[in-house]
Chain A
């Protein structure tokens, strides 16, 4: 499967992102929360061309309000429900089961929040919920703190990816701790998806250069002044970072190293 990039270049077949045996069309994942108006979703999806789109699951009395699922599916993108707002493993498991029934997918982005002001995950409840959901046949993608030890535990209980945060949700601070993020990448075999804290394209490129397999952004797009333009910028940022990673960058040096020849100079 070839994915055509904006500039006309292509991503080779052997670099397709695979999660749980499923090839995904893009390494840029999009969250849908926070758009100033629903009518923007169409143009944001067209600009982002995401590999996955996350949605939340909430009490409702109307079927599919606003046509959200229809719009996402018309772009041929897999929908990934999240358990946003859950504060315990029990709540997260029930929410995941409801999401599986409503959206007819085993995939779930597992979020269990431990602190309502920082929105940081609760590692203990997260691990318990992950184990329970894997046993129930879910494909679990957990939103986690950037911690290589926890990442290894999550992978060991059967999660199909790990999604460490770069910075708190909605903060736009980018990757606050690149060294720990690299340690997470090194600690697990499953894909690492940077999730939360992205502010702009260079943050996404940075995450990919540090070895992430994909990047998920929501607020960076939905709360930007021009969401479709930022969606495109992030998509390109993810591609640029991935390409740079594969190209093998030069080392960082403390002294200059001339790139033009020293012999045969005039004078």
Chain B
């Protein structure tokens, strides 16, 4: 199904947000420092396994960068 990931359209299999993140974020074992929003709402780490993706979902993943 088609979703938008960080502004780019992407074809992904249906599933949980947590599974998608594991696949799309390179495995580095660093843990914290990243946050995810689905359709403009933050989905905390604790809720990512219970979040089921739907076609057309807009997903944004952010982390800290130098700035300010």
| A–B contact at 8 Å CB threshold (below) | yes
Interface residues of A (CB under 8 A from B): 31-35, 38, 41, 54-66, 68-69, 79-82, 84, 94-95, 97-104, 109, 111, 218
Question: What residues of B have a CB within 8 angstroms of the CB of A68 in the complex?
Answer: 64-66
Among B33, B40, B64, max chain A CB count under 10 A is at B64
Report the 3 A-B pairs with minimum CB-CB distance, sorted nearest first: A56-B67, A54-B68, A102-B35
Q: B56 on the interface (CB 8 Å rule)? A: no
Residues 1-22 of B, flagged 1 when their CB comes within 8 A of A and 0 if not, give 0000011000000000000000
Point out the residue from A41, A61, A94, A102 that lies within 8 Å of B66, measured CB to CB: A41
Q: A61-B25, A62-B26 are in contact. Are A97 and B42 (CB under 8 A)?
A: yes
New A-B contacts (16) at CB < 8 Å, excluding given A102-B34, A102-B63, A104-B32: A31-B68, A38-B66, A56-B64, A56-B67, A57-B65, A60-B61, A60-B63, A62-B25, A62-B26, A82-B67, A98-B35, A101-B44, A102-B62, A102-B64, A103-B32, A109-B68
A-B contact count (CB 8 A): 118
B64 touches A61 (CB 8 A): no
B60 touches A59 (CB 8 A): yes
Shortest CB–CB separation between residue A224 and chain B, in angstroms?
Answer: 15
Point out the residue from A64, A94, A218 that lies within 8 Å of B64, measured CB to CB: A64
Residues 22-37 of B, flagged 1 when their CB comes within 8 A of A and 0 if not, give 0011101011111111
